[in-house]
Amino acid sequence: MPPPPAGNLRGAVDLSSLVNRPAPGAPGAPGVAGGPNGAGAAGAPGAVAGVVPSLILEGDDANFTQFIELSNSVPVIVDLRAEWAEQSKELSAVLTSVVTSYAGRVVLVGVDVEANPQLAQAFQAQSVPTVAALVGGRPVSLFQGNYPEQEVRAVVEQVLQLAAQNGVTGTVTVEGADPDAEPAEPVEEPLPPHHAEAYEAISQGDYATAITEYQTAIAQNPRDALAVAGLAQVKLLARLQDKSLDDIRNAAAANPADLDAQLLVADLDLSGGHVDDAFDRLLTLFPKQDQAGKDAIRTRLLELFEVVGVEDPRVAAARRRLAGLLY
């Protein structure tokens, strides 16, 4: 069975940390702390954050706190896997290759979900493999399933961009490694031109340009699943830009009949990983709307399906419920 479309890989990213997150050092922002084996604070971009026994580490329910601390210095990719799952073995090999190529800018932590049920529950690992990240002490959902190296590398690039936006820019060195050795440069496959322009625009917070680039890519190739998912994701970012979490929730609570307010709080729920809540809110509203309202909810749901990933079981359940309401 072939893997789901590549768009699902990008679409599963938890965007909550991009919505009005305090800057590092501001009140409410996560502090910079040490990590395992003496990893310290991340200073200037590229500063050495500390020493680790390996770039590929093992995590469990007992020792995971140290990796949360380490993520204040470098982003930590979390590979939730099972020994019996062939897809897990294949993806772990890909993740090892990708993380190693970044020469200490990112660390990989493997977690056996069967031996560590608390971590599996904390990361909401409904299947294996499931991949998440830790950035500045906070979890970020990434994707489920097995994907080619190019697509996995693109997600790691997104994690590094998110880390940089939050002041997590250090590197670690491996215990016993030659400190004078030149770090290997990661080998990256070039993105298609419009995708590259969209990524650059997103990194600058220019969501309007990113939307235009993805729309152009889709016009040139309507089957570009990655562009479809990227467009849905950046539209979500644009709708949440410059809006506070409290204002969004208060407006929805104060105006239960205001469809725009309800659509926006569903965006917020989904961006924070509360996927079922977002879908349930819109599907519960659907029968109460006139035709224009139903069309607006259906359009928004289809976009959010792309953000989460069309192969996600929560999307499948919501799609069935929507079909029942339509027919």
- Express each pLDDT in 266-292 by its tens digit: 999 998 888 999 999 999 999 999 999
Give the Cα separation of 67 and 45 in Å (integer). 20
**DSSP type of residue 36:** G
pLDDT value, residue 307: 87
Q: CB neighbours (10 Å) of residue 82?
A: 20
Higher pLDDT pick, 183 / 243: 243
Region 204-230: mean pLDDT is: 91
CA distances in angstroms from 139 to 50, 68, 160, 163, 212, listed in the order given: 21, 9, 14, 12, 30
Higher pLDDT pick, 189 / 122: 122
pLDDT value, residue 19: 33
Q: Which residues on adjacent β-strands are paired with residue 173? A: 51
CA dihedral of 53, 59, 62, 64, whole degrees rounded to 10: 90
The model scores a pTM over 0.85: no
pLDDT value, residue 62: 87
The yes-or-no verdict on residue 42 having pLDDT over 50 is no
pLDDT value, residue 15: 33
Q: Please, which pLDDT band fits residue 48 given cuts at 50, 70 and 90?
A: low
The yes-or-no verdict on residue 214 having pLDDT over 60 is yes
pLDDT value, residue 38: 37
Average per-residue pLDDT for the chain: 81
C-beta of residue 229 within 8 angstroms of C-beta of residue 307: yes
Q: What share of the chain in percent tops pLDDT 90?
A: 47
Residue 94 structure tokens: 């890909």
